Amino acid sequence: MKSIFPSLALALAWSAQAATPAQLMSGYAAAAGAGFKAEAARGAEFYKRNFGVSAKMPSCTSCHTEHPSQPGRHVVTDKPIKPLAPAANPERFTDPAKVEKWFKRNCSEVVGRECTAAEKADFIAFITGGH
């Protein structure tokens, strides 16, 4: 429950503003606690980890592919998904409200819980690293 409140406060504070992925990552890193530094390697491991909560969506790669710069496809609805990486899709990680919405939905479905601020910061560090 502790990780929900910083994320909610972050989303509310930025809800009317555009942001950059770096700003969002910094906000999540700050919410994770003093001295926390986002790491792309942890984000990559998180992105590829098989959480086993859902047989159809065991990991982020289930819908977003092994390469976040490539388009994906939702494994349940079969709807196309634009690339996750901001380098390939500049709209990604620019709207704090949308970022929180999708983290909440995807973390619940794939991870089985809400993601922590640290996980979100690491994820953005990975996804913006040109992978």
Q: Categorize the per-residue pLDDT at 9 as very low, low, confident or very high, splitting at 50, 70 and 90.
A: low
* Residue 114, number of CB atoms within 10 A of its CB: 18
Of 39, 36, 14, 51, nearest in space to 128 by CA: 39
Q: What is the pLDDT of residues 14-60, one digit of tens each?
A: 455 678 999 999 999 999 999 999 999 999 999 999 999 999 999 99
Which tokens hold the place of 66?
A: 């092994």
Q: What is the CA radius of gyration of the chain?
A: 14
pLDDT for position 1: 45
**Beta partners for 81?**
72
* Residue 40, number of CB atoms within 10 A of its CB: 18
pLDDT for position 6: 55
Q: pTM (2 decimals)?
A: 0.85
Which tokens hold the place of 3?
A: 């990780």
d(CA 36, CA 63): 29
d(CA 100, CA 120): 10
Q: What residue segments make up the domains of the chain, in order of their start?
A: 4-127
pLDDT for position 89: 95
pLDDT for position 18: 72
The correct CATH number of 4-127 out of 3.40.50.620, 1.10.150.20, 1.25.40.340, 1.10.760.10 is 1.10.760.10
At 73 the three-state DSSP class reads strand
3-state DSSP of 35-70: CCCCCHHHHHHHHHCCCCCCCCCCCCHHHHCCCCCC
pLDDT for position 5: 52
Q: What is the pLDDT of residues 55-105, one digit of tens each?
A: 999 999 999 999 999 999 999 999 999 999 999 999 999 999 999 999 999
At 1 the three-state DSSP class reads coil
3 touches 117 (CB < 8 A): yes
